[in-house]
Amino acid sequence: MKEAETRTLPGEFQLIRDYFVPLQSPAFAGVVLGIGDDAAVLAVPRTQQLLTTVDTLVEGIHFTASDDPFRLGQKALLVNLSDIAAMGGKPCWYLLSLSLPSDTSLTWIEAFVAGLREASERFGVTVVGGNTTGSKAGRTIGITLFGLVGQGRALTRAGSEPGDRILVTGTIGDAALALAMRQGGLSLAGGEDLAFLQQRLDRPDPRVGLGLAIADAMVVHGMMDVSDGLVADLGHLCAASGVGAQLYAEKVPFSPAARRQLEQNPDLLPLLLTGGEDYELLCTASPGALALLATLADEAGVPLTEIGEITASGDVVVTLENKPLPLDRGGWAHF
């Protein structure tokens, strides 16, 4: 039997001293001053620009009270890493903002910090500060991540041109399937497939290495990460460039697990294309750049698939085997 947690939360400063200070990597590049003062001091090399992004996970919206805190710690950082990857940057430092109800257990904190530590070490980033408050309405986890990119080298959503090819990394729709199942609406077959799909939802795989290689090679026109659903995010990329897109649904890469679900239920296709949380890179490049891109993806060990092309019109048109594919969901929106 699991022992009941008897340790209550210590004061804010003891929490910082016991858990967040030890989470810092010692002597980390660029950290002039880390946790402990009113602000951290970070050194940005003269040749670089600073990238910054924030993502917040809210109990009741992004996770539930009973969700595994280790995975939450990982995921809070991984989704931010994906944003830095999407700009072609090198992630470096982060701030951790936590709002915690007073009945939060130390066991929860320890597992949460262990998850953060795992992802931090795997991607070579460190915490440099944060904020800790109480909460009367569940836990909130905010991470602000800073990264570096060469002067003028950041890859934005803008810059796509008609005739560009559209490419996406990894596979699309796995997380959407897992989420639909977890939220009760969908029942999926196959134990192993289930575990794979859940893991794609819980543990995104930010494409940091490939993002850096793509920025280095200056080989794409536009880039972003897919978090709100492939179709919606392609729409965002097009809007930023003032172009349209033709997306071929039959070319979109699905995992073997997602394929098996799709074979049993072809009506799942719109969900795969519009559900969110893929955390894959979406980019556009001229046809002449595709060979170099394929080499970079190979070297990074990341699948990269051509799924469509940029058009001059302002719409995103999705077809399946040359027939228009009706999609009723445009992607995730909070309000």
| Comparison of 38 and 263: residue with beta carbon closer to Mg ion | 38
The least distance separating Mg ion from the CB of residue 13, rounded to whole angstroms, comes to 13
| Comparison of 101 and 150: residue with beta carbon closer to ligand ADP | 101
The least distance separating Mg ion from the CB of residue 38, rounded to whole angstroms, comes to 3
Question: Does residue 73 interact with ligand ADP by CB under 6 A?
Answer: no
Q: How would you classify the pairing of strands 126-134 and 90-100?
A: parallel
Task: From 318, 326, 263, 275, select the one nearest 173 (Cα to Cα).
Answer: 275
In this structure, how many other beta carbons lie within 10 angstroms of the beta carbon of residue 131?
13
249 binding partner (options Mg ion, ligand ADP, none; Cβ < 5 to 8 Å by kind): none
The least distance separating Mg ion from the CB of residue 35, rounded to whole angstroms, comes to 12
Site string (26-65) toward ligand ADP, x via CB under 6 A = ---------xxxx---------------------------
Measure the CA–CA gap between 145 and 273, rounded to whole angstroms: 28
213 binding partner (options ligand ADP, Mg ion, none; Cβ < 5 to 8 Å by kind): none
Question: One-letter amino acid identity for 221?
Answer: H
The least distance separating ligand ADP from the CB of residue 81, rounded to whole angstroms, comes to 17
Which of 49, 56, 105, 132 is close enough to bind ligand ADP by CB under 6 A? 132
**Residue 267 near residue 143, CB atoms below 8 Å:** no
* Consecutive H or E run containing 233: helix 230-241
96 binding partner (options Mg ion, ligand ADP, none; Cβ < 5 to 8 Å by kind): ligand ADP
Structure tokens, 200: 């794609």
Per CB under 5 A, residues contacting Mg ion are 38
Q: At what angle do helices 290-300 and 208-217 cross, to 10 degrees?
A: 150
244 binding partner (options Mg ion, ligand ADP, none; Cβ < 5 to 8 Å by kind): none
Question: Does residue 22 interact with ligand ADP by CB under 6 A?
Answer: no
Measure the CA–CA gap between 45 and 153, rounded to whole angstroms: 14
Site stretch for ligand ADP (CB under 6 A), options 123-131, 184-192, 207-215, 251-259 = 123-131
**Residue 274 near residue 220, CB atoms below 8 Å:** no
Burial of 101 from C-beta contacts in 10 A (0-12 / 13-18 / 19+): middle
* Consecutive H or E run containing 133: strand 126-134
Question: Does residue 119 interact with ligand ADP by CB under 6 A?
Answer: no
Residues that bind ligand ADP (CB under 6 A): 16, 20, 35-38, 96, 98, 127, 129-132
